[in-house]
Amino acid sequence: MKVINLEQGSDEWLTWRTQGVTATDAVILLGLSPFKTQWRCWAEKTGFATPVDLSMNPLVRRGRENEDVARRLLESRFDDILLPLCIESSFDPIIRASLDGLTSNGEPTEIKCPSEKIWNEVCSLGKQSSAFKMYYGQVQHQLLAAGSPKGFLVFYFDGDMRIFEIYADKALLATLYRKAKQFVKLVDNRIEPPKDKKKDLYIPTNEDALSWITHAEQYRFLDAEMQACKQRQKDLEAKMKQHLDAMKAQMGEYYHADYCGVMITRYSVAGSVDYARMLEEQGAQVSPDLIEKYRKPTSDRYRITVSESVMPRNIADEETLAPLEQADPDYQPLIF
């Protein structure tokens, strides 16, 4: 193990992370991360994409704010000093890790400060929890980097802890190293790994890019027109409501009116059933499997977001962005 003199969070540290495979990357390479795919990891390391800024994410902020508290509590439990260090493997420097703590015996410690929901799952399911299974691979990578036979995975929440001893899994370490070497080769040669079509971005190229730009310009223009119409509709509805309220007040207890081209009919509608509350209070015998039996087939839907910029977020590859230099964010169709 080689200790690298870097401050975690610094620009130098960020650059260092891109030049090897970290413990966070290991979770991705093992296919255990719900947050990032192998393609996205490759894109960020090659400069094709920029990392998403999570600094304002409340869960991320909570984790950072509580990490020092958790480390001090853990030091008292271990009666040891835990050093937050950056390390590289002594046998291959591409294997690197930013440790939350390293014991005096050279044992890496990974500290997690999860949400209450995840904490409760860890407490109830232990090693069968999704959080443990995901971060287990992270600690295994740290053991590979440190050359240590044992490490710790620690979950902290509101002054309480769950501490798991993690022992080196030789078969998994071999898999991790093999995947790391393969991944670094892809990064060095800028060879894209396969994309996850459910998580990664579709990015059109060549003629497909030009076709997308044509349709996108038209869509953006029509969307702006539609938003203006919607606002006009809201304004008209607000004015109409004033007159409708006045006529309803004139009707008093009458249920029907028809005068000067305006017909008003008053009727009663039964209130909707709060099924969620009903199941919560009365549905002790209704199992999740039974609910699934009556669920209608899944259908695909699309959520459309129109932004002011024509540039895709967090994509930095010049070749990918080049066709967009010709796109007009203020496109107006020719009207004859």
Count of domains forming the chain: 2
289 within some domain: no
Which residue among 164, 188, 212 closes a domain?
Answer: 188
Q: Which of 81-85, 100-104, 248-252, 279-283 is predicted least confidently?
A: 279-283
> 180, exposed or middle or buried, with CB in 10 Å at 0-12, 13-18, 19+?
buried
pLDDT tens-digit map of 4-25: 999 998 999 999 999 999 999 9
Residues 154 and 7 in one domain: yes
Note the pLDDT of residue 333: 72
Indicate if 215 and 258 belong to the same structural domain: yes
* Structural domain ending residue among the three candidates 144, 164, 188: 188
Is 18 domain-assigned? yes
264: which 2 tokens? 């008003």
Lowest mean pLDDT among 148-157, 199-208, 249-258, 316-325: 316-325
* Position 14 in a domain: yes
Of 141, 146, 133, give the one whose Cα is nearest residue 169: 141
Given a cut of 70, whether residue 336 has pLDDT beyond it is: no
Residues 311 and 334 in one domain: yes
> What pLDDT is recorded for position 302?
80
Residue 2, classed as helix, strand or coil, is: strand
Q: Is pLDDT above 80 for 334?
A: no
CA-wise closest residue to 182 among 16, 28, 3, 13: 28
Range of weakest confidence among 122-126, 210-214, 250-254, 329-333: 329-333
Q: 134 with 125: CB under 8 angstroms?
A: no
Q: Say if residue 15 is in the same domain as residue 126.
A: yes
pLDDT one-digit tens code per residue, 127-153? 999 999 999 999 999 999 999 999 999
Residues 19 and 113 in one domain: yes
Report the share of the chain in percent with pLDDT over 70.
Answer: 99
Would you tell me how many other CB atoms lie within 10 Å of the CB of residue 34?
9
Question: Same structural domain for residues 28 and 153?
Answer: yes
Last residue of a domain, one of 163, 188, 213: 188
What's the predicted TM-score (pTM) here? 0.81
Q: What is the pLDDT of residue 62?
A: 82
Mean pLDDT of 294-299: 84
Query: Which of the 8 DSSP states describes residue 157?
Result: E
Range of the domain at 250: 202-268+297-336
Residue 276 domain-assigned? no
Instruction: In whole angstroms, give the CA distance from residue 138 to residue 127.
Output: 14
| Residue 106 domain-assigned (yes or no) | yes
User: Measured between alpha carbons, how far is 13 from 98 in angstroms, rounded to an integer?
Assistant: 9
Tell whether 194 is covered by a domain: no
Q: Do 138 and 9 lie in a common domain?
A: yes
46 and 137 part of one domain: yes
Average pLDDT along the chain: 92
Asked if 234 and 101 sit in the same domain, the reply is: no
In a domain, 290, yes or no: no
Q: Residue 283: pLDDT band by 50, 70, 90 thresholds?
A: low
Tell me what pLDDT residue 163 has. Answer: 97
DSSP-derived secondary structure letter, 55: T
Q: What confidence score (pLDDT) does residue 122 get?
A: 97
Give the CATH number for residue 38.
3.90.320.10
pLDDT for 335 equals: 55
Collect all residues with Cβ–Cβ distance below 8 Å to 99 and sequence separation of at least 6.
83, 84, 85, 86, 87, 108, 109, 110, 142, 146
Same domain (yes/no): 56, 87:
yes
Q: Check whether residue 11 and residue 74 sit in a common domain.
A: yes
Across 88-95, average pLDDT: 96
**Is the pLDDT score of 177 beyond 50?**
yes
Residues near 45 by Cβ (< 8 Å), separated by ≥ 6? 18, 187
Fill in the DSSP letter of residue 308: S
* Region class of 46: left (phi > 0), else alpha (psi between -120 and 50), else beta: alpha
Q: Which residues of 100-127 are buried (b: 16+ CB within 10 A; e: fewer)?
A: bbbbeeebbbbbbbbeeebbebbeeeee
- Of 288 and 14, the structure prediction assigns the larger pLDDT to 14
Identify which has the larger pLDDT, 251 or 55: 251
Same-domain status, 156 and 209:
no
> Is residue 293 very low, low, confident or very high in pLDDT (cuts 50, 70, 90)?
confident
CA dist., res. 5 & res. 224, Å (int): 53
Lowest mean pLDDT among 188-197, 243-252, 298-307: 298-307
Q: Tell me if 143 is assigned to some domain.
A: yes
